Structures are given as C-alpha cells and as structure tokens.
Amino acid sequence: MNAFDLPGRFWRGNLHTHSNLSDGALSPSDTVDYYRSAGYDFVAVTDHFRAVYGFPLTDTRAYRTPEFTTLLGAELHGSRQSFSSDWHIVAVGLPLGFPPADRGETGPLLARRARRAGAFIGMAHPAASLLTLADAESLDAAHAMEVYNAVSAGEERGDSWHLFDAMQSRGHRLSAYAADDAHFQPQDPPGCAAWVQVRARSLEPTQLVAALKGGHYYSSTGPELHDVTVTGDQVTVRCSPASRILVTGGVPGKQILAGDRLSEGTLPVKMFQDTYFRVTVVDAAGGRAWSNPTWLR
C-alpha cells in the first residue's frame, strides 16, 4: 500500500459529500464548483441512496474538465447494525443505474453487491454510527474505513482509529481515509476540512477508483506527506513542516519525534515487526496527515 513508490502524482479529492438531491444544501453543480474553486482535483458526490430521496445516484459527469473530475457514488443504507436502524456505507465508482436496496437487504449484502458492481467501499463514520467490532467485521466487502469524518468531529465522534486498529489487528487489511461528509448546512463545519491524496497516473476516474481500492493514497486535514520509506527496521518520513511525527500500529505504544518545523525524521519500527505500522504527522495548527498501514510480516 506504499503510494509513494508508485508512478504518477497525488490528486486531492473528497470521497464523501452530499448535495440537495438528498440532505445537502447545494446543488450538485455548486457542490462541484466549491471543491474545484478550493483547488481540489476531484470530488465524489455521494448522496443518500434512500427511497425518501428517490434513490439518487448523482450524475456529475457533465461537470468534468481536463483539470478536474468527479467520481460517481452514493452513501448506501442497508438494514441494520447494532445501534442503528441502518448502515452508512460509502460506495465510490458505482455505475449509473445501480439498483436500490431490496427490502430487508442488510448492509453487508448491499456492500457486496456494490463491490461486485465495481465500487470502492468504505465504512462511513464508524464512531458516529457506534459501529462495534462485530459490525465492522461483518462488512466484509469494505476496502477501507472512514477514520476521520469532519462533520462527526463536531459531535466529538470524528475519529475512528481505535476501531481501525482493532480490525487490522484481527487481520482485516483495510486502508484508511478521511472525508468532509459535507452537507453545507448552516450548522455544519465548512467543507475542505479533510481529504485524500490519491496516487495515480492521471485524473481518469477508473484510475482513481483503482488506486483507492489498492490503498494508494494518504489522508489529511492539513499537512502533506512527501515520502514514507522503510529501510531495514527503520522508517523515514518526509513531510511539510510538522511539530510531531508519530509511528503507531499493531501493538500498544508509539515511536515519536517532536520539534519545531520538522520536515524529515527516521524512527525505529522494530516494535511493529510482526504486525503493521502507520504514520501520523501533526502540524503546529493541529492538522494531521495519516499514511495507510505498512505491513511488516
């Protein structure tokens, strides 16, 4: 999953966004314009795929340009998980005409059907949905977990890293993404608060979706990761100016460097030698960037 070794470049995008075709405030075209104007390279408008909204799979293809693209997707809602009446599942790369959920179709079954249709599948805001480990393990079609959700952060449930690490430690090799979950409603935080940087040769949508499925990306709320390289039992991280560089992973504990405007650091990873590690970079403003996991066994 080391995106930094691959050809191409990083493309900035948001994987979880809503328009007024479901419960968002902006039209699809205004939603796309918002991200384009903010310097993003792509966005996925993932409206709630519910009967009350007419099961929208929002078609944003008309807003694509050579410099900016869109990915088609939706937030799917199969019946239920432990503490809620339904699931929240991000599916990016769905084909137009994807059939609505059948009555009683569970979240795991719906996710499998979306994956078979070609979509990248993410567990949306696990902390906000109170997903249990058993819930997460049942969603066996997932490629990734939404480990940071900017809207849920306003409810003190934005961070799902604990569940992610528990899943990894049980052998589920997921990738991890951050997202706005932007609705642009007055009570919500502004958009562009959390995003992914996807490594691909071009902005062609199928290449971006393939890179997401492969875990060829990192996530951020501010800092940039320039490189993560493992040499022997050490990892070297290069990044935008940071106050901390951390390595955590499949065992309790951490390795950490702290300083002023760190742009590079080397840390031992021997404590993770039978599991995996991931990198977190924290900048002076509290923004974070997260790598996907690197497995050492």
CA 216-217-218 angle, to 5 degrees, is: 145
Distance (Å, rounded) from C-alpha 252 to C-alpha 279?
14
Report DSSP letters for 42-75, one per residue: EEEE--B--GGGT------GGG-BTTBEEEEEEE
Distance (Å, rounded) from C-alpha 227 to C-alpha 172?
25
pTM attached to this predicted model = 0.96
Q: Take residue 207 and report the two structure tokens written for it.
A: 């290449």
Q: Which residues are within 8 A (CB) of 164 and not within 5 positions of it... i.e. 6 or more apart?
A: 126, 145, 147, 174, 176
Token pair 């079609």 is found at: 141
- Taking domain 3-220, whether its CATH number is 2.60.40.1220 is answered by no
Report the amino acid identity of residue 117.
Answer: A
Token pair 């320039």 is found at: 226
Looking at residue 269, its pLDDT comes to 97
pLDDT band with cut points at 50, 70 and 90 for residue 167? very high
Q: Which residues are within 8 A (CB) of 229 and not within 5 positions of it... i.e. 6 or more apart?
A: 4, 235, 236
The pLDDT tens digits of the residues spanning 40-96 come to 999 999 999 999 999 999 999 999 999 999 999 999 999 888 888 899 999 999 999
Distance (Å, rounded) from C-alpha 163 to C-alpha 86?
19
Distance (Å, rounded) from C-alpha 18 to C-alpha 96?
17
Per-residue exposure over 23-59, b if at least 16 CB sit within 10 Å of its own CB, e if not: ebebebeebbebbbeeebbbbbbbbbbbeeeebbbbe
Q: Take residue 21 and report the two structure tokens written for it.
A: 């075709």
**Shared fold status for 3-220 and 225-295:** no
Average pLDDT over residues 139-164: 96
Looking at residue 1, its pLDDT comes to 59
Average pLDDT over residues 237-265: 97
Looking at residue 185, its pLDDT comes to 94
Extents of the domains making up the chain = 3-220, 225-295
Above 70 in pLDDT, residue 238? yes
Above 80 in pLDDT, residue 6? yes
Above 90 in pLDDT, residue 101? no
The pLDDT tens digits of the residues spanning 110-145 come to 999 999 999 999 999 999 999 999 999 999 999 999
C-beta of residue 199 within 8 angstroms of C-beta of residue 168: no
Distance (Å, rounded) from C-alpha 22 to C-alpha 220?
26
- Mean pLDDT, all residues of the chain: 96
Report DSSP letters for 228-290, one per residue: EEEETTEEEEEEEEEEEEEEEESSS--EEEEEEEEEEEEEE-GGGTTSEEEEEEE-TTS-EEE
pLDDT exceeding 70 applies to what percent of the chain? 100
Helix-then-strand count for the chain, H and E: 6, 17
Average pLDDT over residues 101-113: 90
DSSP category for residue 216: -
The pLDDT tens digits of the residues spanning 178-218 come to 999 999 999 888 889 999 999 999 999 999 999 999 999 99
Domain 225-295 fold is Immunoglobulin-like (2.60.40)
C-beta of residue 221 within 8 angstroms of C-beta of residue 288: yes
